[in-house]
């Protein structure tokens, strides 16, 4: 602290008197602290000003609340740069000076990050061979994604130019180092993806800096993240945000490229500004448009044509034949295996007396699954399938590795008195499941299984809301229930529907999105499996359902993306009364009717074994000779 005692400004209505070297009598050695009145009364000491950091005082900031603003010309320039940012696809071969590239990357390094974690790592790629291999990966993904879209949208995607990967003199890959657990980074314990958001901010900083310098930048995300990570040698836990092409532009587009190509248009600003909270049903903004399509007519016809070549009457395998046609129409006719996704969670609804088993059973079954000793995992292994175990909210500590952790981060309600899941948890769980489903779709069939004490009540409430099934028909026995417990289930489901304004015996109105319903009545495992279904179908994978809970997850996915229905196969119909109604709403016939009560994906695995056998029959059975004209 400074010892400068020069008087400051007195407060209004007082007189400031300079401190002299003497006392009140003018004699030396006086101590001003001894004065309680007189010349030192009303004296204002000078505020200590730090030599580093913010030198301003509260009074100064109060006097000029807008004093931090840049001049008008700087703000105008910023608006111009933001408005002129473009996704560049065509580049000149001229090199980007190292100093300028470093300036762009420096802007990225100045981005905000939660907990000042700075998770970004910037990989500059100049090697032509690496850039060519990246372009090949993107080309393959472009064709794959185009095939999953509506025909016109698919053609538009194929028309989009990706030569920037080859033309641009440099590639810049932003990698997010996520190897530190979320709990170890300030601010990530609740928003676990905040590190990725920071890296996205780094991309925007670099994009704007490049634009201001006259450089072009194009952001390419048509990659399988695992493929791009392998190309760049990234370790486990380091993820990419795609590939940034950077160089001098060979085009000067006046507007956004996709808008100029009639892919989409910029929404009016007032349509994306909401006030205070999300609007009530009927007033909410329109959902983003999906361009997912079911397998087209040609693929569907080709599947049945191929089956007609077998030395057996068409459709001789009955329901199995129709399921095999569905697999072939999705382009998966050469599948030799797949993966069971077993998701587990507990639910506060248990406390309302709706289950015959204590919650710790969920953890025991999931632990057995990790040792491949649970009924579902043993069945999957015996049927030729791998298993991924997901902790979607098992009571207590997170399950140990190799379980995938995707647990809700907010308090959960018991349906009757409060919503089952927080909206942020719904979003996170669906996203985690979607990513998992997309990755597994390339490995064969995706089988769904679940574990969760009390989740038949959860699934029944969702079934009632989705199909309009009367409460007395929706509430089933579950595992070991008696009549009194079934009555309690009915009361809980009726109370949950009434709390959210869903008329019993009537489907929830269209204004209730799939995610609204998951939040109101769902559970962690059902939200996760909804995402798995969406992700697998978007990647062209076939999903095999097990019991009521997995079928409800699939019906929620179809509510969000109707074309998902074409990628579903009902493995079985269980004893739960609502299951048959849910399958009917999906338009699916089950392969098996064994009155199973095991859950855990056992029925899906048994049905999956039948599907693999059927596919082998189609590959290896004799064919008839072509008819002679």
Adjacent-strand bridge partners of 243? 173, 220
Asked if 244 contacts 172 with a C-beta cutoff of 8 angstroms, the reply is: yes
How far is CA 197 from each of CA 194, 268, 299, 390, 587, rounded to the nearest angstrom? 5, 25, 39, 24, 40
Contact 322, 558 (CB under 8 A): no
Using only C-alpha atoms, the chain has a radius of gyration, in whole angstroms, of 32
Q: Which of 239, 525, 576, 600 is catalytic?
A: 600
Query: Strand 543-545 vs strand 170-177: parallel, antiparallel, or unpaired?
Result: unpaired
CA distance 533 to 557: 6
CA distances from 564 to 147, 295, 327, 421, 569 (A): 14, 10, 13, 24, 11
CA separation for the pair 545, 574 (Å, rounded): 11
Q: Strand, helix or coil at 406? A: coil
What lies within 8 Å, CB to CB, of 83 at 6+ separation is: none
Strands 568-570 and 543-545: parallel
Spatial separation of the C-alpha atoms in residues 546 and 448, rounded to whole Å: 6
SS3 assignment, position 165: helix
Nearest residue to 3 via CA among 38, 33, 39, 46? 46
The backbone torsions φ and ψ at residue 4, rounded to the nearest 5 degrees and listed phi first, read -70, 120
Nearest Cα residue to 522 out of 545, 478, 556: 556
Q: How far apart are CA 376 and CA 602, in angstroms?
A: 4
Does residue 600 contact residue 449 with C-beta atoms inside 8 Å?
Answer: yes
Residue 397 known to be catalytic: no
Alpha-carbon torsion angle 415, 418, 422, 423, nearest 10 = 90
Which residues are marked as active site? Answer: 600
């Amino acid at each position: 602290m400074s010892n400068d005692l020069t008087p400051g400004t007195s407060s209004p209505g007082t007189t400031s008197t300079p401190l002299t070297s003497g006392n009140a009598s003018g004699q030396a050695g006086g101590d001003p602290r001894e004065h309680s009145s007189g010349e030192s009364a009303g004296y204002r000491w000078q505020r200590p000003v730090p030599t580093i950091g913010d030198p301003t005082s509260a009074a100064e900031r109060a006097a000029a609340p807008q004093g931090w603003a840049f001049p008008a010309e700087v703000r105008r320039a910023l608006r111009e740069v933001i408005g002129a940012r473009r996704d560049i696809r065509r580049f000149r071969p001229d090199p980007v000076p190292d100093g300028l590239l470093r300036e762009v990357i420096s802007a990225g390094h100045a981005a905000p990050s939660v907990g000042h974690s700075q998770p970004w790592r910037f990989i500059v790629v100049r090697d032509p061979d690496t850039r060519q291999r990246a372009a090949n990966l993107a080309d393959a993904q472009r064709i794959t994604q185009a095939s999953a879209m509506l025909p016109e949208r698919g053609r538009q995607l194929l028309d989009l130019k990706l030569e920037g990967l080859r033309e641009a003199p440099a590639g810049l890959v932003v990698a997010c180092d996520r190897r530190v657990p979320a709990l170890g980074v300030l601010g990530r314990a609740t928003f676990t993806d905040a590190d990725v958001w920071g890296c996205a901010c780094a991309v925007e900083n670099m994009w704007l800096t490049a634009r201001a310098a006259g450089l072009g930048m194009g952001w390419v995300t048509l990659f399988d993240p695992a493929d791009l990570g392998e190309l760049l040698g990234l370790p486990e836990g380091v993820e990419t945000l795609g590939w940034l092409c950077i160089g001098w532009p060979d085009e000067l587009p006046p507007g956004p490229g996709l808008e100029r190509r009639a892919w989409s248009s910029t929404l009016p600003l007032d349509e994306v500004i909401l006030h205070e909270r999300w609007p009530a049903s009927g007033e909410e903004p329109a959902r983003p448009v999906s361009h997912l399509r079911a397998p087209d007519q040609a693929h569907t016809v080709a599947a049945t044509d191929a089956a007609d070549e077998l030395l057996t009457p068409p459709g001789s395998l009955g329901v199995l034949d129709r399921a095999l046609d569905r697999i072939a129409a999705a382009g998966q006719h050469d599948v030799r295996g797949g993966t069971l996704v077993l998701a587990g969670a507990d639910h506060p609804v248990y406390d309302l007396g709706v289950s015959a088993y204590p919650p710790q059973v969920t953890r025991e079954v999931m632990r057995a699954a990790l040792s491949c000793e649970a009924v579902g995992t043993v069945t999957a292994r015996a049927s030729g399938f791998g298993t991924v175990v997901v902790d979607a909210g098992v009571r207590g500590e997170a399950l140990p590795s190799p379980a995938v952790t995707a647990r809700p981060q907010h308090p959960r309600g018991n349906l009757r008195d409060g919503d089952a899941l927080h909206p942020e948890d719904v979003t996170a769980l669906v996203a985690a499941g979607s990513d998992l489903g997309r990755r597994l779709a390339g490995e064969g069939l995706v089988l769904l299984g679940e574990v969760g004490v009390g989740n038949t009540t959860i699934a029944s409430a969702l079934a009632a809301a989705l199909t309009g099934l009367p409460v007395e028909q929706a509430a089933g026995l579950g595992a070991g229930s008696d009549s009194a417990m079934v009555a309690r289930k009915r009361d809980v489901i009726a109370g949950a529907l009434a709390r959210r304004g869903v008329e019993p015996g009537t489907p929830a109105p269209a204004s209730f999105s799939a995610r609204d319903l998951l939040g109101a009545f769902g559970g962690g495992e059902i939200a996760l499996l909804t995402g798995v279904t969406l992700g697998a179908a978007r990647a062209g994978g076939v999903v095999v359902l097990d019991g009521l809970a997995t079928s409800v997850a699939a019906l929620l996915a179809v509510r969000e993306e109707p074309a998902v229905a074409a990628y579903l196969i009902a493995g079985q119909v269980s004893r739960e009364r609502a299951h048959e109604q849910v399958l009917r709403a999906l338009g699916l016939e089950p392969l098996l009717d064994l009155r199973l009560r095991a859950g855990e994906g056992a029925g899906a695995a048994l049905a999956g074994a039948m599907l693999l056998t059927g596919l082998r029959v189609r590959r290896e059975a004799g064919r008839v000779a072509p008819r002679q004209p």
